[in-house]
Amino acid sequence: MSLYQIWILQESGTCLFHRKYCHTKNDENLISGFLSAVHSFVGSFGAQIKWIETDQIRFVFQINDGLIFVACTSSDERAQLTYKRLSRVSEQFTILFGKDILSSGDPIPLDVFKSIAPSINRIFGLSECSGESAIQASSDNSLDFSFASPEARLMSFIRYRRKVSINEILRSLRLSDDEAIKAINQLEQKKMILRTENPDGTEQFGLSPVIKRFF
């Protein structure tokens, strides 16, 4: 099975789980936002996306209970088989974490979702060794921040809300002042967000023009 990467996303774009099974240097934060944006775009026409295919890779989608399960595979793999496997991953997610874990309103450490990795390995026919190699590959090629970091959470929040104030960031993401300022500065340095000033002197943060093209 040529499984390259797998994501479990909320419809807002927040990534709950991601795993690499090959060496790549792409920006997973942008990709997760792009995948959820494609799902939203297709859904606006009353349709549901099944997969996106190029000459080399295919992104297969499985939507269930407000969650988006996406597998990136070789285009030579059978899309229907990947779709069925993602359906089993979706069922396993519900078995492990329940249907209400994300609707309780309680803060959830994203590390808890890592426990689904062995189930994914089993469903896709991957060995534990493959999983360990994937963790190493992800570590070797990671960005300066992970999906569970304040920077990644802030990026997903801005993508979802379009424009946010510092007070909205502090209140919704439950970050400290220092964490929020550090996250904002890092995303500004990467030219991923843009700071604007309102007539009353307050500031808002939105996606930079380059990033906005993807959403």
Using CA atoms, how far apart are residues 57 and 160, in angstroms rounded to an integer?
27
What is the rounded average pLDDT for all residues in the chain? 81
Condensed to tens digits (0 to 9), the pLDDT of residues 66-109 reads 899 999 998 888 899 999 999 999 999 999 988 777 776 666 77
Are residues 148 and 114 in contact, defined by beta-carbon separation less than 8 angstroms? no
Q: What is the mean pLDDT of each run of 10 residues along the chain (215 residues)?
A: 87 87 70 86 89 91 93 90 94 88 71 90 72 44 52 83 89 86 87 85 84 60
Residues of the chain with CATH 3.30.450.70: 3-140
Give whole-number Cα distances, 124 to 3, 31, 85, in Å.
Answer: 8, 22, 7
According to CATH, the topology of domain 150-212 is Arc Repressor Mutant, subunit A (1.10.10)
Residues of the chain with CATH 1.10.10.10: 150-212
Helices and strands in the chain, H and E counts? 8, 8
Q: What is the CATH number of domain 3-140?
A: 3.30.450.70
56 and 75 Cβ atoms separated by less than 8 Å: yes
* Type of residue numbered 105: G
